[in-house]
Amino acid sequence: MAYFTYVAVLAQILPVPDPIPLLAVAVNLAVIKGLLVLAWAESLRGNIFFSVLRDWYPAPLMLLAYREMGWLAPAHHTHKFEQAWIVWDRKLLNDWGLHGLIEFFSPVLPALLELAYLLVYSTPLFSVFMLYVYRRRERVDSFLTLFLLAILIPYALFPYFPSEPPRVVFPGELFPSADTWFRRLNWQLLEGQGIRTSVFPSAHVAGGFAAAFGMMRYLPEHAWVGRLLLVLAVLIATAVIYGRYHYAVDAAAGLAAALLALMIVVALEKRQARAAR
């Protein structure tokens, strides 16, 4: 609710074209109303249907939260951030040999990285599903709090770091040599669904690590889930740099956002535990 209120307010402040200011208010009021109606409906004798619906209602809202940031994209980019960020990419990929190391295992490792990038969209759904499978549904709220914080922090910061991905600003530079099917699919998806507001911090990286941290914390009895997601998160962080979807600093900031979300949740849980004593 706080995030969608924030976006509606930003739409009134930033220089965006009509009818975005009105649209942001109308859509986000409907979203907030939906959250309140579901909470009220669940409170009626603890209705299990609406309770389960609340577990899955955030899924489409995550996509909406991302798309709404696209509404706030600037008309023109100066690329001042990108010019500073590309320096670190050149060091990492060229001088320190990450690009060559990945392509030494071509086409298998490049394809695996692109697949990992594609799978990031499924991590919250997979995590909630696993909590259901292992009969730990009471932990869904805690997991979603962590995951949503991790991805909404980057989204909220997008307007302050207007930027475009390296594949757009520096076409051809440091590009992968391996042209895999997964890479072509990712590019097609981004052509239709990408936004031009910002790439900093990387919400892909934040979401990948948040899912891993969440499963490690809320499903420790089945450690393979968290470990699998942690491996996936590392692959995603590597993929966004190698595939030129993000700059290295975007990936680092995404990891920082996930760690910040984890620290906030841990602090809240400790406070709740003290209050319950």
Structure confidence at residue 194 (pLDDT): 77
Structure confidence at residue 179 (pLDDT): 84
How many residues belong to the chain? 277
Record the pTM.
0.94
Structure confidence at residue 275 (pLDDT): 85
pLDDT above 80 (res 134): yes
Residue bearing tokens 């965006």: 16
- Cα separation, 154 vs 17, in Å, equals 23
- Contact (CB, 8 A) for 114 and 240: no
- Percent of the residues in the chain that have a pLDDT greater than 90, as a whole number: 84
Structure confidence at residue 190 (pLDDT): 84
145: which residues sit within 8 A by CB, 6+ positions away?
A: 265, 268
Q: What is the mean pLDDT of residues 255-268?
A: 97
- Give alpha helix (H) positions in the chain: 2-13, 20-43, 48-56, 58-71, 80-89, 98-104, 108-119, 123-133, 140-157, 166-169, 181-193, 203-218, 223-242, 248-276
Where are the domains positioned within the chain?
1-56, 79-276
Residue 17 preceded by cis peptide, ω within 30? no
Encode pLDDT of 39-79 as tens digits.
999 888 777 889 899 999 999 999 999 999 999 999 899 99
Average pLDDT of every residue of the chain? 94
